[in-house]
Amino acid sequence: MDTRHGWVAPRALAPRHSAAIERRRFRAVGLERAGAVERRRPTAMGARAATLATIAALALAGCTSNSTNGAASIAVAIADDTCTLSAAQAPAGHAVFTLKNTGSKVAEFYVYAADGTTIIAELENVGPGITRDLVVALDEGTYVTSCDPGMDGSPIRSDFVATAAGRTESPSAERQAALDAASTQFLAFVRAEANSLATKTKAFADAFAAGDDATARSLYADTRVHWERLEPVAESFGDLDPSLDLREADLGPQELWMGWHRAEKVLWPPTDGYAITEADRASIAAQLVADTLDLKSRVTDPAFTIAPFAIGNGAKELLDELATSKITGEEEVWSGTDLWDMQGNVDGAYAAYESLRPIVAASDPALATELDQRFGDVNAILATHGSLAKGFVPYSALTHADVLELSRAVEALSEPLSRLTAAAVL
Amino acid sequence: MTDPDGATADGALPGGALPDGMLPDGSPVDGSPVDGSPVDGSPVDGSPVDGSTVDDATRAHGFSRRAMLGAAAAGAAAAGAAGAGGFKVGRATAPILGDMAFGFHGDHQSGIVTEQQDRLHFATFDLTTDSRDRVIALLRRWTQAAATLMTGSEIGAGAVGGSPLLPPDDTGEALGLPAAGLTITFGFGRGMFTKDGKDRFGLAGLMPEQIQDLPHFSGDAIDPAFEGGDLCIQACSHDPLVAIHAIRNLARLAAGDASVRWAQLGFGRTSSTTRAQSTSRNLMGFKDGTRNLRAEDTTLVTKWLWAGPTDGQEWMTGGTYMVVRKIRIHAEVWDRTSLGEQEAAVGRSKGSGAPLSGGNETTQPNFQARGASGSLMIPTDAHVTIAHPNRWDGAMMLRRGYNYTDGADTLGKLDAGLFFIAFVRDPRAQYVPIQEEMSRSDRMTTEYLKTVGSALFAVPPGIPHGATLGDGGAFVGQSLFA
């Protein structure tokens, strides 16, 4: 098929298109300019509309001529019998056609190559009253736009020219410097947490190995907070997470259970008589110390870096962890210290966001405002159940209403957080 | 099921009989439209049928995700040409899919007098924001998304059309499916106006008296897990996946402002809302909704369904009120009940749907008729006796219920029943007194049913034809926030 065939909604996942998806994915990541890409644009709209709103954001995206990527903006006014473009040309690069249907019919809009038949991009089913965006990547050259207000086969066609204006869509030097600064800042956070984790783990492990369960219990949750703050980084190493953080429910047959949660079950045994040998205690303790030192040495290796997209994705993953296993009380099934873990997850996600925030505040200020607010909401709710300094209530003390409130706040944070990476990196 | 006969136009009052086959307003019940307006006029250009109460639900152009697939498969097909292979391209062959999509705009919301679809996904929401502006923004997002979904399109940048660094705007499970008759209906519960004594949005003075809390009816066993909601969305479609896709994506668009409180899937309509539809059976095995208020009964629809400007809250003009009740059937008990007792409880023949006094499904019941033994043929505590509209000054409702099942309960019993939905102009007159009597005296209700869920909503009017949606545009419930 034509490699420049547009890939826009609505569309189905026919096998023949999978290659096109992969190509486009690659292109979009690399910010190359061939082919059509439709995506949400950063906008300077009010906070509310930007929040979650796929539709609203798209509806407003026409005003993106000053967006960071500098996409050209063309208004397409559709009535029952007319279709008017606000411009007949635009600089090559990304162009946003904002279709506004004020007629009573369902309309469609196509961008064809110069031959008038090869589809570059299309948007169908634009219902009465609807505004939608079609984002197209245009190489320099001539195109044909086609607008059909009734989708009845009598389109209104006109030529459209992409001119050779020298616009760049690569990250500017300024943006690149900001991304580098974000990586540096977040890396410092990760290294500090890994250091605290290793130090506190040593104290915990010593008490545990010595059979001083009271001390070990008092150190358990506070130590794990550091792990929960940097878990996505640790997970990226593959081997450390299963060794340190496997829950009993995660165990496969014949699998040796080590790590935090084995110690947890020993310290908060389900019934009297959940016994463990001294040798096992020693071996669990030694492994915890070795693993956390290993983690520390890996992240403090001068060659270790964290890419900006990994920072944003890591923030989302931390909230996903919270939303699935922490909010249900499954993570700390014996100790009931899930609220410490939740606070750790939120802290880690916030640190990631904080490092990217200067970039997001410029590229999508509404998203930054939303995230500030939603992080604040979650932290405020957690604070009603305790604090890291003074300790939290056990999970079992939470009522269903408490859990529901927390869950809803986490969902309200997680949806906009899922747009952090794109806002920072694109 | 709770009332195969309830709130209908059965006619024949014991004391003031109308001729058989005649509605109280003198119109025929034979299925012919009262005013001769088309019920299913399918204007190819999607323009509305004017002047008819069914115009909101008029079948519009049928463009669909499936049609898009056809267009995509056609690759470089020029606009206006039919797709090569696969499905025909929607635009050139609209009539093929023409009956699969309903128009969004209209004086009334869709999904009320719309010919009832086979599947339901219903959800109620708690508003989690205290900001009036955010509620308005939410309603705008929902409105535009609903209008888009009803055309069979994906929302936003679609399921696969967006940036690879962003989660897709649309969840994608409806890719390749047509609009499948999707309608989306929004309702406002008491919590929109006042909650826990707080007037969160400055709307307390605009709460319709029609949605005052339903009383406790005898035998009610309302589970808080199926009760109330500040908002509701009813999504109906002929395809369950399309209905689920709609609610799922609308719920996602609400994140941070509203959160699902409870939800219900329904299947197999238990009512008919147009004369073209046959009477269906409920999970008790009986024909249900024989005498429902139907779209063609324009005079009755005006009288019993749509709120008028003098009903108390002017902003509700053109709206209606939605009674939602989750009614569980004691299925195992019912199934081992003799046929005679089943029919006596309902007051109708299980096979034909005819009243026990004789005739066929549409024959008026004769409550005085006695059998050979001298006893009444229709028992005084039969459902048809209690729920008969003539007992209630002819009050009618537009029922739009579905069967439901949630699998089995922990005792291994079928967890199933009727998800009762009725639209009425005033629940205080058209629902509450009837349900009160049924819950006390109706043998079918008291012996074999248990209401476990309940909610009541004000359903605002529709979006006028020609209104622009999106930022700054029209939205469902706009008159409330004027």
Taking residues B416-435, report their average pLDDT.
96
Contact A40 B158 (CB under 8 A): no
B115-174 pLDDT, tens per residue?
999 999 999 999 999 999 999 999 999 999 999 999 998 998 889 877 778 899 999 999
Q: What is the mean pLDDT of residues B177-200?
A: 96
Task: Tell if the CB–CB gap between A415 and B256 is shorter than 8 Å.
Answer: yes
Burial A13-32 (b: 16+ CB within 10 A, else e): eeeebeebeebbeebbeebe
Residues of A in contact with B153 (CB under 8 A): 9-10, 124-125, 127
Size of interface A-B (CB pairs under 8 A): 256
Is the model's pLDDT at B374 over the cut of 60? yes
Would you place residue B394 in the very low, low, confident or very high pLDDT band (cuts 50, 70, 90)?
confident
Which residue carries 């259970």 as its tokens?
A257
Does residue B217 register a pLDDT over 60?
yes
- The mean per-residue pLDDT over the stretch A364-388 comes to 97
DSSP 8-state code for residue B192:
G
The predicted-structure confidence for A230-254, as pLDDT tens digits, reads as follows 988 888 887 888 889 988 888 888 8
Interval A381-401: pLDDT, tens: 999 999 999 999 999 999 999
Three-state SS at B250 = helix
pLDDT category, A221, cuts 50, 70, 90? very high
* Residue contact A38–B158, C-beta within 8 A: yes
Q: What percent of chain B has pLDDT over 90?
A: 68
**SS in 3 state form for A368-423?**
HHHHHHHHHHHHHHHHCCEECCCEECCHHHCCHHHHHHHHHHHHHHHHHHCCHHHH
Length of chain B: 482
Set of chain B residues whose Cβ sits within 8 Å of the Cβ of A131? 144, 468-471, 473
Indicate yes or no: CB of A55 within 8 angstroms of CB of B151: no
Cβ within 8 Å of A, B 174-233: 175-176
Average pLDDT across chain A, whole number: 81
Chain A residue numbers with beta carbons less than 8 Å from the beta carbon of B79 are 108, 110, 146, 148, 153, 155
- From chain B, the residues in CB contact with A150 under 8 A are 45
User: What was the pLDDT predicted at A238?
Assistant: 76
Handedness of CA B7, B9, B14, B16 (dihedral sign): positive
Banded model confidence at residue A166, pLDDT cuts 50, 70, 90 = low
* DSSP class of B372: T
Local confidence band at A173 (pLDDT 50, 70, 90 cut-offs)? confident
| CB < 8 Å from A in window 434-463 of B | 463
Q: Is residue A26 predicted with pLDDT exceeding 80?
A: no
Q: Report which listed range, A27-41, A230-244, A277-291, is most confident.
A: A277-291
Q: Which residues, in sequence order, are CB contacts of B238 under 8 Å at separation 6+?
A: B100, B117, B118, B119, B180, B181
Closest residue on chain B to A378 (Cα): B256
Sheet with A131-138, edge to edge strand ranges: A83-85, A72-78, A93-101, A131-138
Strand partners, A391: A387
Residue A379 has pLDDT above 70, yes or no: yes
Q: Which residues of chain B from 142 to 171 reach within 8 Å of chain A, CB to CB? A: 144-145, 147-148, 150-167, 169-170
Q: Which of B48, B63, B105 sits opposite A129 (nearest CB)?
A: B105
Percentage above 70 pLDDT, chain B: 79
Closest chain A residue to B170, measured at CA:
A54
Instruction: Assess whether the region A15-163 and the region A173-425 belong to the same CATH fold.
Output: no
> Residue A262 corresponds to which tokens in the numbers above?
């084995």
Of A21, A129, A150, the CB nearest to B467: A129
- Within 8 A of A127 by CB-CB distance, chain B residues are 104, 147-148, 150-151, 153
CA B346, CA B341: separation in Å to the nearest integer?
9
pLDDT on residue A7: 25
Domain made up of A15-163: CATH architecture: Sandwich (2.60)
At residue A251, the pLDDT reads 85
Please report the pLDDT score of residue A236 as a whole number: 81
Of A106, A146, A412, the CB nearest to B79: A146
From A148's Cα to the closest Cα of chain B, the distance in A is: 8
Query: What's chain B's average pLDDT?
Result: 82
Q: Strand, coil or helix: what is B126?
A: strand
Cβ neighbors of A144 (< 8 A, separation 6 or more) are A111, A112, A113, A114, A116, A157, A158, A159, A160
What would the pLDDT profile of B442-456 be if each residue is shown by its tens digit?
999 999 999 999 999
Query: 94-133 in B: which are within 8 Å (CB) of A?
Result: 94, 104-105, 128, 131, 133
Does B35 have pLDDT greater than 90?
no
Give the gap in angstroms from C-alpha B396 to the nearest C-alpha of chain A: 34
pLDDT recorded at residue B255: 94
Q: What is the pLDDT of residues A315-346, one digit of tens each?
A: 999 999 899 889 999 999 999 999 999 999 99
Cβ B161–A12 below 8 Å, yes or no? no
pLDDT of residue B165: 83
User: What residue segments make up the domains of chain A, in order of their start?
Assistant: 15-163, 173-425
- Higher per-residue confidence, A116 vs A371: A371
pLDDT of residue A165: 67
CA distances from A383 to A316, A386, A388, A395 (A): 21, 5, 9, 14
Q: Which of A102, A152, A426 sits opposite B163 (nearest CB)?
A: A426
CB atoms B144 and A419 under 8 Å: no
Provide the ipTM: 0.77
CB A146 within 8 A of CB A121: no
Q: How confident is the model at residue A167 (pLDDT cuts 50, 70, 90)?
A: low
From chain B, pick out residues whose CB is under 8 angstroms from the CB of A309.
Answer: 165
Residue from the list B79, B91, B162 with its beta carbon closest to the beta carbon of A40:
B162
Could you give the 3-state DSSP secondary structure of residue B365?
A: coil
Q: Answer yes or no: pTM beyond 0.95.
A: no
What is the CATH architecture assignment of A173-425? Answer: Up-down Bundle (1.20)
For residue B141, which residues of chain A lie inside 8 Å, CB to CB? 52-56
Residues of B in contact with A55 (CB under 8 A): 141, 144-145, 148, 155-156, 169, 253, 470
Tell me the average pLDDT across B406-422: 96
Sign of CA dihedral A22, A24, A29, A30: positive
Q: Give the number of other CB atoms < 10 A from CB of residue B13.
A: 16
